[in-house]
Structure 1
Amino acid sequence: MSFKIAIIGAGSVGFTKKLFTDILCVPEFRDIEFALTDLSEHNLGMIKAILDRIVEANGLPTKVSATTDRRKALEGARYVISCVRVGGLEAYADDIRIPLKYGIDQCVGDTICAGGILYGQRNIPVILDFCKDIREVAATGAKFLNYANPMAMNTWAAIEYGKVDTVGLCHGVQHGAEQIATVLGAKSRQELDYVCSGINHQTWFIDLRLNGRKVGKDELVAAFEAHPVYSQQEKLRIDVLKRFGIYSTESNGHLSEYLPWYRKRPDEITRWIDMSDWIHGETGGYLRYSTETRNWFETEYPQFLEAASKPIDPTKRSNEHASHILEALETNRVYRGHFNVKNNGVITNLPQDAIIESPGFVDRFGINMAAGITLPEACAATCISSINVQRMSVHAAISGDIDLLKLAVLHDPLVGAVSTPEEVWQMVDEMVVAQAAWLPQYAHAVPAAKERLSKSQVKTREWDGAARRNVRSIEELRAEKAALKQAG
């Protein structure tokens, strides 16, 4: 087979390498072409060198090109994959820093909450530019695979306004299933069968079967509470499991910022999180992790390049959906996964226009969703709260309506639990002014926002959050990795 895959945001070096090697695990895909594009020539050069090394080491005829000219990369592409972060770590730092001044403590801040909503405002205009290019220069009927957060908002905009065949992809379901299989003592992941449905980052394991036997709430609670690691790292998720009767796909830290109950007071935050790793609830944890990862890659790049000389091992193909979707579409080998698409009746008790994440099957006819799923009422209620925020956020990003943006932030579950309307109005003004370089649709609103900020009487505080850690130096990271290697 010979076709072209374009990867936008390919400067996300580690993830691009994973997608690349996964796809080349499919024997029929040896002759395809990868076109990499990114704003950073520096990052593009690094990732192209790594991928060229992989191709050479494995004796493949695969073509790899790299360009900062996005339209050139998209020309004739049958598949377009996006993993962009608009504004990079600079804008992301404001997504965490500014809400903290108003008492809003986020672990990740990339899906909803104040940070995720502003992230969507930066991303959506760019996503629509991608869609325009796809319609104009990509292959007829090209499929857009979106990995970029905020997943639901980006996918919503691409489908509703970009008019491109789009699917959103995430790995939260797979990670949650791995946890469940572990606590239940499964010898392999294949022993666990499950139906997981909801919205991205708020998906729910509504049916669990271990070797065909149905697993109920009490058994699952007991299994998690007995596990020596997860019982400490996932305290919040276990509490939600006890109250809802259903386990959530999302990590302890992520889930905590989508709900109004667990991060509303500093003393409550420290009660529910675990500091053994960023993903369990650390304030600004993913920002710290992303910063350290970037610094580590820049410093240790020669090691990454050397590692690329190893042969591709198909047994180590990851469970990221992209390669499996492409394999199913091109070879008709059926793949079952969980996909982000417009609802349209798939989940009966969620809004029809929402972007849902639910099971589907892929073959040469496309992605076919399993329809008619009804969520437990508490799960549906939680999802609907976020969907309403997502809808307003998308419409605000399209229209540049700063008042609608403020209403979206006001209705966010965690923001509403922590902040007053006056605080929300000022916080959004401050975030729009700080991120104006990435928010062209709000250019008309920035002067008035600055004027309001100059006269505001709303008090803020300089606060690092309830559980903040400093970014570690390269020397500290080296020492930690050496200690782990010695211990292991």
Structure 2
Amino acid sequence: MSFKIAIIGAGSVGFTKKLFTDILCVPEFKDIEFALTDVSEHNLGMIKAILDRIVEANGLPTRVTATTDRRKAIEGARYIISCVRVGGLEAYADDIRIPLKYGIDQCVGDTICAGGILYGQRNIPVILDFCRDIREVAETNAKFLNYANPMAMNTWAAIEYGKVDTVGLCHGVQHGAEQIAEVLGAKSPGELDYVCSGINHQTWFIELRLNGREIGKDELVAAFEAHPVYSRQEKLRIDVLKRFGVYSTESNGHLSEYLPWYRKRPDEITRWIDMSDWIHGETGGYLRYSTETRNWFETEYPQFLEAASKPIDPQKRSNEHASHILEALETNRVYRGHFNVKNDGVITNLPRDAIIESPGFVDRFGINMAAGITLPEACAATCIASINVQRMSVHAAISGDIDLLKLAVLHDPLVGAVSTPEEVWQMVDEMVVAQAQWLPQYAHAVPAAKERLSKSAVKTREWAGAARRSVRSIEELRAEKAALKQAG
């Protein structure tokens, strides 16, 4: 087979490498072309060198090109994969820093909450540019695979306004299933069968069977509470499991910022989180992790390049959906996964226009969703609260309506639990002004926002958050990795 895959945001070096090697684990895909594109020539050069080394080491005919000309990369592509982070770490730092001034403590801030909503405002205009290029120069009926957050908002915009065949992809379901299989004592994750459904980052394991035996709430609670690690790291998820009756896919830290109950009081936050790793609830945890990862990669690049000389091992193919979807579409080997698509009645008690994450099957005929799923009422209620925020956020990003943007932020569950309307109005003005270079749709609103800020009487505070850690130096990271290696 010979076709072209364009990867937008290919400067996400580690993730691009994973997608690349996964796809080349499919025997029929050796003779395809990968077109890499990014706004950073520096990052493009690094990832192309790594992928070229992989191709050479494995004696493959695979072609790899790299260009900052996105349209050229997309031209003639059958599949377009996006893993962009618009505004980079600079804008992301403001997504965390500015809301903290108003008492809003986020662990990740890339899905909803104040940071995720502004992230969506930066992404959506760019997503629509991608869609225009796909419609105009990609292969007819090309498929757009979106890995970028905020997943639901990006996918919603691409489908509803970009008019491109789009699916959103995430690995939260797989990771949650691996956890459940482990606590239940399964020999491998394959022993666990499940139905998991909801919206991205708020997906729920509504049916569980281990080797055919149905697993109920009480057994699952007991298994998590008995686990020596997860009982400490996943306190909030376990509490939600006890109250809702089903386990959430999302990490302890992520889940905490989608709900209005666990992060609204600084003295309560530390009760529900764990500081052993960023993902369990640390203030600005993913920002710290991302910053350290970037610094580590820049410093240790020669080692990454050397590691690319190893043969590809199909046994180490990851459970990221992209390669499996492409394999099913091209070879008709059926794949079952969990995909972000427009609801259209698949989940009976969520709005039809929402972007859901739910089970589906892929073959030559495309992605075919399993319809007729009904969520437990509490799960549906929690999802609907987020969907309403997502819908307003998408419409604000499309229209450039700053008043609608403020209403979207006001209706966010955690923001509403922490901040007053006056605080939200000023916070959004401050974020729009700070990120104006990535928000072209709000250019007309920036002067008035600056004027309001100059006259505002709303008080803020300089606050690092309830559980902040400093970015570690390269030397500290090396020492930690050495200690872990010695211990292991």
Instruction: Tell me, in whole angstroms, the C-alpha distance in 2 between the residues paired with 1:432 and 1:379.
Output: 32
CA positional deviation for 1:225:
0.1
SS of aligned partner of 2:254: helix
CA positional deviation for 1:236:
0.1
SS of aligned partner of 2:257: helix
CA positional deviation for 1:424:
0.1
CA positional deviation for 1:102:
0.1
Instruction: Tell me, in whole angstroms, the C-alpha distance in 1 between the residues paired with 2:464 and 2:188.
Output: 42
SS of aligned partner of 2:122: helix
SS of aligned partner of 1:10: coil
What runs of 5+ residues in structure 1 fail to find an aligned partner?
none
CA positional deviation for 1:475:
0.4
Instruction: Tell me, in whole angstroms, the C-alpha distance in 2 between the residues paired with 1:464 and 1:142.
Output: 45
CA positional deviation for 1:378:
0.1
Instruction: Tell me, in whole angstroms, the C-alpha distance in 2 between the residues paired with 1:478 and 1:191.
Output: 37
CA positional deviation for 1:477:
0.3
CA positional deviation for 1:59:
0.2
1:24-76 deviation digits (Å, cap 9, x = unpaired): 00000000000000000000000000000000000000000000000000010
1:217-268 deviation digits (Å, cap 9, x = unpaired): 0000000000000000000000000000000000000000000000000111
Instruction: Tell me, in whole angstroms, the C-alpha distance in 2 between the residues paired with 1:223 and 1:473.
Output: 37
SS of aligned partner of 1:170: coil
1:266-314 deviation digits (Å, cap 9, x = unpaired): 1110000000000000000000000000000000000000000000000
Instruction: Tell me, in whole angstroms, the C-alpha distance in 1 between the residues paired with 2:236 and 2:249.
Output: 12
CA positional deviation for 1:159:
0.0
CA positional deviation for 1:403:
0.1
CA positional deviation for 1:108:
0.1
SS of aligned partner of 1:136: helix
Instruction: Tell me, in whole angstroms, the C-alpha distance in 2 between the residues paired with 1:268 and 1:28.
Output: 53
User: Who is 1:426 aligned against?
Assistant: 426
1:451-483 deviation digits (Å, cap 9, x = unpaired): 000000000000000000000000000000000
SS of aligned partner of 2:108: coil
Instruction: Tell me, in whole angstroms, the C-alpha distance in 2 between the residues paired with 1:186 and 1:345.
Output: 34
1:367-408 deviation digits (Å, cap 9, x = unpaired): 000000000000000000000000000000000000000000
TM-score by length of 2: 1.00
CA positional deviation for 1:430:
0.1
Instruction: Tell me, in whole angstroms, the C-alpha distance in 2 between the residues paired with 1:354 and 1:403.
Output: 22
1:189-234 deviation digits (Å, cap 9, x = unpaired): 1110000000000000000000001000000000000000000000
CA positional deviation for 1:320:
0.1
SS of aligned partner of 1:126: helix
SS of aligned partner of 2:104: coil
Instruction: Tell me, in whole angstroms, the C-alpha distance in 2 between the residues paired with 1:73 and 1:264.
Output: 45
1:314-341 deviation digits (Å, cap 9, x = unpaired): 0000000000000000000000000000
Instruction: Tell me, in whole angstroms, the C-alpha distance in 2 between the residues paired with 1:70 and 1:137.
Output: 11
Instruction: Tell me, in whole angstroms, the C-alpha distance in 2 between the residues paired with 1:189 and 1:419.
Output: 42
Instruction: Tell me, in whole angstroms, the C-alpha distance in 1 between the residues paired with 2:67 and 2:438.
Output: 22
CA positional deviation for 1:131:
0.1
1:74-100 deviation digits (Å, cap 9, x = unpaired): 010000000000000000000000000
User: Who is 2:261 aligned against?
Assistant: 261
CA positional deviation for 1:419:
0.2
CA positional deviation for 1:109:
0.1
User: Who is 2:166 aligned against?
Assistant: 166
Instruction: Tell me, in whole angstroms, the C-alpha distance in 1 between the residues paired with 2:145 and 2:348.
Output: 25
What is the aligned-residue identity percentage?
95
CA positional deviation for 1:176:
0.2
Instruction: Tell me, in whole angstroms, the C-alpha distance in 2 between the residues paired with 1:243 and 1:166.
Output: 35
Within the alignment, does 1:117 sit opposite 2:117 as a pair?
A: yes
User: Who is 1:102 aligned against?
Assistant: 102
SS of aligned partner of 2:391: helix
SS of aligned partner of 1:258: coil
Instruction: Tell me, in whole angstroms, the C-alpha distance in 2 between the residues paired with 1:429 and 1:188.
Output: 50
SS of aligned partner of 1:295: helix
TM-score by length of 1: 1.00
Instruction: Tell me, in whole angstroms, the C-alpha distance in 2 between the residues paired with 1:420 and 1:190.
Output: 47
1:130-177 deviation digits (Å, cap 9, x = unpaired): 000000000000000000000000000000000000000000000000
Instruction: Tell me, in whole angstroms, the C-alpha distance in 2 between the residues paired with 1:75 and 1:446.
Output: 35
Give the RMSD, CA atoms, in angstroms: 0.2
User: Who is 1:229 aligned against?
Assistant: 229
User: Who is 2:209 aligned against?
Assistant: 209
Instruction: Tell me, in whole angstroms, the C-alpha distance in 2 between the residues paired with 1:483 and 1:180.
Output: 29
Instruction: Tell me, in whole angstroms, the C-alpha distance in 2 between the residues paired with 1:70 and 1:358.
Output: 31
Instruction: Tell me, in whole angstroms, the C-alpha distance in 1 between the residues paired with 2:38 and 2:344.
Output: 34
Instruction: Tell me, in whole angstroms, the C-alpha distance in 2 between the residues paired with 1:60 and 1:302.
Output: 22
What runs of 5+ residues in structure 2 fail to find an aligned partner?
none
Instruction: Tell me, in whole angstroms, the C-alpha distance in 2 between the residues paired with 1:403 and 1:69.
Output: 35
User: Who is 1:191 aligned against?
Assistant: 191
Instruction: Tell me, in whole angstroms, the C-alpha distance in 2 between the residues paired with 1:190 and 1:82.
Output: 29
